[in-house]
Amino acid sequence: MRKTGWLVFMALCLPVAVSAGQLEPFKDIPIPLQNPQTPEKIELGKKLFFDRRLSGDGTMNCGTCHDPEQGYSDGLDISLSYPTTKNWRNSPTLFNVGLQKTLFHDGRAESLEDQAIFPMMSAYEMNQNLDFVEEEIRSVPEYVAEFAKAFGDPEVNLQRIAMAIAAFERTIVSNDSPLDRYLGGDTKALSPQALKGYEVFTGKGQCVNCHYGVNLADDKFHVLNVKENPDHLKDPRIAATRRFV
């Protein structure tokens, strides 16, 4: 009975495993019906993304941790945070973020519109009062005009701020990488060395068993038994207060 049950289990799992181990070329970012893309909204979102008014003391913006020059991350093992503090995680890249099913390291947001709000109100990130950010953006005449162009009327509110930022983030894509071109049928897109790596990745290395699809990930959470970052323990002041020392 146990053997039969095990065989049934394996039979059910096998199709999933086979389909999972496939890389896919880049595909269009899905756009939610309630937040359609427009050039005006994307441009507004880009302006907000790099606006330091979104932080409590006006020293940080989204690009502080998601720098285009650093692949829309920050290149640090532990991200800097609101002035005089540091975070306990690093900043993930925003490339192809519109394809992800869950957002943040803990998966607490399921849409880019929700995600855009969390860093603003986090004490360890931008530390902004959400009521204040509406008033600050509303007080800028240029913004009022741009909100009118993007949304059809000049109302400025937190939901629209998040929608505009999300619209911009959906344009951050890597759709013309050599790998995308190779998977799309261009057999000469990869260098000989990269092609050897691809063969290992999809073959004997079995990397593709976990890193598959468009984003080379499975959008799931896994217990990897990774130990706590030792930098947190080098100085008790860092571990206790998260402050630069």
| Positions marked catalytic | 125
What are 78-85's contacts with CB under 8 Å, separation 24+? 78/229, 78/231, 81/124, 81/125, 81/242, 82/55, 82/56, 82/57, 82/123, 82/124, 82/125, 82/126, 82/127, 83/57, 83/59, 84/243, 84/244, 85/123, 85/124, 85/241, 85/242, 85/243, 85/244
Within 13 Å of residue 49, how many CA atoms lie on the same side as its CB? 26
Please identify which residue in the block is written with the tokens 């990774």: 226
Helices (DSSP H) in 58-117: which residue ranges?
Answer: 62-65, 112-115
Q: What's the Rg (C-alpha) of the chain?
A: 22
Whether residue 98 contacts residue 112, with contact meaning beta carbons closer than 8 Å, is answered with yes
The residue type of 61 is N
Looking at the DSSP bridge assignments, the partners of residue 213 are 23
Whether residue 229 contacts residue 76, with contact meaning beta carbons closer than 8 Å, is answered with no
